[in-house]
Chain A
Amino acid sequence: SQQGEEDPQALSIQEGENATMNCSYKTSINNLQWYRQNSGRGLVHLILIRSNEREKHSGRLRVTLDTSKKSSSLLITASRAADTASYFCATAPNAGNMLTFGGGTRLMVKP
């Protein structure tokens, strides 16, 4: 079963705009990770944020984590057509590292 929900399920923006995706989860976690998937192929790891962190940056990506609300957000700034993909959040438990994924947000960036 899915750990949680991602919102929105689909997002369409113009190049240069920012894209924000949200993720909610249900159980306590060790960390939360965001992945990108192009055209139903393999997942590419974007960023990992640990449960004791509140915000993390990587290039044009900014991730926040609110463990009290069991939610996270991924912000992509100055989007490009190449950012068009599906984005998934995944949570890792405190023991072991099996990942539990959300349903994903399908992002389309129009040139």
Chain B
Amino acid sequence: DAGVTQSPTHLIKTRGQQVTLRCSPKSGHDTVSWYQQALGQGPQFIFQYYEEEERQRGNFPDRFSGHQFPNYSSELNVNALLLGDSALYLCASSPIGGRAGDTQYFGPGTRLTVL
């Protein structure tokens, strides 16, 4: 049973560019959340997708957008990259609509470096 997978593992971009990160949830899970973790800090919630729609959003600008596909996989897109976007981007999945109290299962993350 595959866990949460993310691609790519590492990514280097320059300021102003755009980036797409990908996530496949754990088998049987239909809800995907994205988190940004800056170096030395705890993860911060970006947004959550369920039934192919953004259901909740954290305090992130519109440069951060996402998508969920019918197979429940998800993409995170970041436009007009800033140096401050350099971080570890974590994807987490949870089952059956992500009810309050459900455990979230995290992927290994994508390390994005913006130069």
* Chain A residues within 8 Å of B, Cβ to Cβ: 1-2, 30-31, 33, 35, 40-45, 48, 50, 88, 90, 92-104
* Chain B residues within 8 Å of A, Cβ to Cβ: 4, 31, 33, 35, 37, 39, 41-45, 48, 55-56, 58-59, 88, 90, 92, 94, 98-109, 111
- Can you report 17 residue pairs joining A to B where beta carbons are below 8 Å apart? A2-B42, A30-B100, A33-B103, A40-B37, A40-B39, A42-B4, A42-B108, A43-B92, A48-B103, A88-B43, A96-B48, A96-B55, A96-B56, A97-B33, A97-B104, A98-B48, A103-B42
* Chain B minimum-CB-distance residue to A30: B100
Contact B43 A101 (CB under 8 A): yes
Q: How far is the CA of A1 from the CA of B58 in the complex (A)?
A: 9
Q: How far is the CA of A93 from the CA of B33 in the complex (A)?
A: 15
**Top-6 shortest CB links A-B:** A101-B42, A43-B106, A42-B108, A30-B100, A97-B98, A42-B106
Specify which of A35, A94, A104 is in contact with B100 (CB 8 Å cutoff): A94
Q: How far is the CA of A50 from the CA of B94 in the complex (A)?
A: 17
What's the least CB distance linking B91 to chain A, in Å?
A: 9
* Chain A minimum-CB-distance residue to B31: A97
Contact B103 A45 (CB under 8 A): yes
Specify which of B88, B98, B105 is in contact with A96 (CB 8 Å cutoff): B98
User: Which residues of the partner chain A approach B101 to less than 8 Å between Cβ atoms?
Assistant: 30-31, 48, 50, 92, 97
Q: How far is the CA of A99 from the CA of B111 in the complex (A)?
A: 20
Contact B100 A100 (CB under 8 A): no
Q: How far is the CA of A100 from the CA of B39 in the complex (A)?
A: 17
Q: How far is the CA of A52 from the CA of B45 in the complex (A)?
A: 25
What's the least CB distance linking B25 to chain A, in Å?
A: 13
User: Which residues of the partner chain A approach B100 to less than 8 Å between Cβ atoms?
Assistant: 30-31, 92-97
What's the least CB distance linking A24 to chain B, in Å?
A: 13
User: Which residues of the partner chain B approach A44 to less than 8 Å between Cβ atoms?
Assistant: 106
* Chain B minimum-CB-distance residue to A101: B42
Q: How far is the CA of A40 from the CA of B90 in the complex (A)?
A: 11
